[in-house]
Structure 1
Amino acid sequence: MTVQFNPVENMRDQFHYHNSAKAIARFPFPFPEDSYMYSVNIEPALSKPGTIFEHWFDIDEHYLTEVNERALTLKNDPKRCIVLPHMQQAAWDFLEMAMLHLSADYPEHFHLERQGKAWHWINRPMNIDVHFQFGDDSSLPLPAFEFISRQLQGDIALLDQREGDLFMDAGMITGPADWSLNFDAGMSFKQWHAPVPKLAHDAGVFERALKFLLNIQVGNPYRRLNWTMTINPRMDTSSETYHLWGHERGLVTKDNAGELVHLRVELQMMPRLARSNALLFSIRTYLISLNDLVTNPAWAKRLHRVIRDLPESIADYKGITRYREPLVQWLSQFDQE
């Protein structure tokens, strides 16, 4: 699939970020019904040509923008990339998976040659051309996990499986929705999901989800969609940078909601890594302004009903309580029934 990349856009300060008609059409609108309740909603990650589900690692028009945004975030805060010592094999496992899929799915942009442990990797959009020895961090300009994660859209967590649980023991998290890798690193599945309202009150949901993830097999990945909202097209809404973006929630009015409020949808992919048995948990984030979203009338009507009827606990967890009323007022114009 040929991808046309936008020039580098601005996702901080003086925002400049635009979705083309093609990007709007393939946006993963996350609401199958007019009402919403938290659910695990996991499905097999089967390929759907022409959609964001076509490949394991989705590359789109915002590729240059998002890898540049990641580099800026890492420059300010290197702790957004953490790999605990015992995760080195998983890091190389992940590098192999990413390179194989990118070169097979986007051959006009990525190329991989392998002669035993002597590998040659080309990333044309980022002007990377490197020969290295598989398994040897010193043969790369950066450690393996950071090297490949800087070349992907979306955040990456590697979950170590042990003691009947999953532990977030490696990650590249530069665009999180109000959480912190530095805080969550080393935590178990139950610990980092503790703030989720449904899981906090229904241990059965948690236990079923964890049991399912523990049994994911190599070659049979699963995926799910998650959503929240962001003011401005800001990718980095981490806990560490709350002082930069938290106040923006108070700027929303019934007149500017379409411009300021962005629906933020995460495509979460969960494939098993073959050598290390770690579980990859990738979080590919898509942003769309409500002005762009409402060009699809069915989406506009449904979003109004979802936000209007959202349980208070979920609204609080999603961080939209402060501007929910003006948002609903703005959306109501698209739902006259």
Structure 2
Amino acid sequence: MTIQFNPNEDMHEQFRYYNSQQAIQRFPFPFPEDSYMYSVNIEPAISKPGTIFEHWFDIDEHYVTEMNERGLTLEQDPKRCIVMPHMLQASWDFLAMVMEHYSKDYPEYFQLDKQGNHWHWTNLPLNIDQQFIFGDTATLPMHPFEFISRQFQGDVAILDQRDGDLFMDAGMITGPADWSLNFDAGMSFKQWHAPVPQLAHNLGVFDRALKFLLNIQVGQPYRRLNWTMTVNPRMDTSSETYHLWGHERGLVTAENAGHMLHLRVELQMMPRLAPSNALLFSIRTYLISLNDLCTNPAWAQRLHRVIRDLPEPIADYKGISEYREPLVQWLSQFDSDKN
């Protein structure tokens, strides 16, 4: 698989960001029907060649851009990376999983040579060449979790499993959809999902989802898609930076919605780490402008109907209520059924 990494992209301030035709075609459009209701929608992570589901961890043309953005965000706010002391084994498990999958799935860009515990890792897109002893933190330039997370496309949390629950005890979150790792770190599964509408008061849904996640086995990962919308192609829409992007919601009109608004889709991957038995929760975010998305007539029509008929609590939770009216007006041009 040949990847043409986009040069000179910027996901803040100037917003120089674009999707190639290939990226548009493989975008994970998240709506199988003309209406949407929040659901768990978990499925086995079975490979689908030629799609973003081909490999466990998808790499695309925005890889270098997003890694550069991660570095800038960490410079401004180091607390976007949190690792509790008891998560060291899980951190090494995560490092091994990423290196092994990246080198196997994208050998043109990543190489891993293992001679016992002596490992040699090469990341060509980021110009990283690192020899180290697996399990010896002193042989890496930083904590193993941060080292590999700075090279992993997508946000990541590692959930410690204990006392019949999951706890967010490690994370690298530089591109969240209006939440904060610093706030959620250490929380249990139910605690960090409490704001989700129509689930917050349905403990049965939480109980079933948690029971399912607790029973995910090594080598049998699951995945799901989640979505929201973002004004401008801004990856970092964290709670901490709301003062930078929150006002942008009021700038959307029926005239500029096509280039200002971006559908934001998260591919959430959940494999079990061994030997720590922690659960990895990776969040690979895809952005597409509505102008690009609506080059697909079927997507344009369906998105109009989904947004038009979205229940108000979900619209509020997704953060689109403020510009929903001009958005629906703009999308209506692609749908013969405008009522």
Normalising by the smaller structure, the TM-score range is: over 0.9
Distance, in Å, in 1 between the alignment partners of 2:163 and 2:123 is 38
In the alignment, structure 1 segments of 5+ residues that lack a partner are none
Asked if the contact 1:301–1:334 (Cα under 8 Å) also holds between the matched residues in 2, the reply is: yes
**Aligned-partner Cα distance in 1 for 2:324–2:65:** 29
1:9-28 aligned within 5 A: 9-28=9-28
Q: Is the 8 A contact 1:8 1:68 kept in 2?
A: no
| 1:165 corresponds to | 165
Q: Distance in 1 between matches of 2:161 and 2:199?
A: 21
State the 1:226 CA deviation.
Answer: 0.1
Instruction: Determine if contact 1:8/1:64 at 8 Å carries over to the other structure.
Output: no
Give the partner amino acid of 1:12: H
| One-letter amino acid of the counterpart of residue 40, structure 1 | V
In 1, are the aligned partners of 2:8 and 2:16 still within 8 Å (CA)?
no
Distance 2:251 2:236 in 1: 18
Alignment of 1:68-217 (within 5 A): 68-217=68-217
1:303 is aligned to 303
Q: Once the 2 structures are TM-superposed, how far is the Cα of residue 202 of structure 1 from its aligned partner?
A: 1.4
Tell me how far 1:274 sits from its aligned partner. 1.2
The share of aligned pairs that are identical, in percent, is 81
Q: Distance in 2 between matches of 1:116 and 1:283?
A: 31
The answer on whether the counterparts of 1:156 and 1:171 sit within 8 Å (CA) in structure 2 is yes
In the TM superposition, residue 290 of structure 1 has moved relative to its aligned partner by 0.1
Paired residue for 2:314? 314
Amino acid paired to 1:261: L
The answer to whether residue 66 in structure 2 is matched with residue 55 in structure 1 is: no
SS at match of 2:119: strand
**CA deviation after TM superposition for structure 1 residue 142, in Å:** 1.4
Cα distance in 2 for partners of 1:136, 1:143 equals 10
Q: Take 2:7 and 2:198, find their aligned partners in 1: how far apart are those partners?
A: 41
Q: How far apart in 1 are the matches of 2:51 and 2:28?
A: 9
Q: Point out the more displaced range, 202-211 or 270-279.
A: 202-211
Q: Give the equivalent residue in structure 2 for 1:254.
A: 254
**TM-score after normalising by structure 2:** 0.99
Q: Secondary structure at the match of 1:197?
A: coil
CA contact (8 A) 2:197 2:317 kept: yes
Distance in structure 1 (CA, Å) of the matches to 2:137 and 2:260: 42
For 1:9 and 1:140, how far apart are their aligned partners in 2? 29
RMSD: 0.6
Give TM-score scaled by structure 1 length: 0.99
1:245 maps to which residue?
245
CA contact (8 A) 1:157 1:168 kept: yes
Give me the whole-angstrom Cα distance separating, in 2, the residues matched to 1:26 and 1:82.
Answer: 32
1:65 matched to 2:61? The reply is no
Amino acid in the other structure paired with 1:332:
S
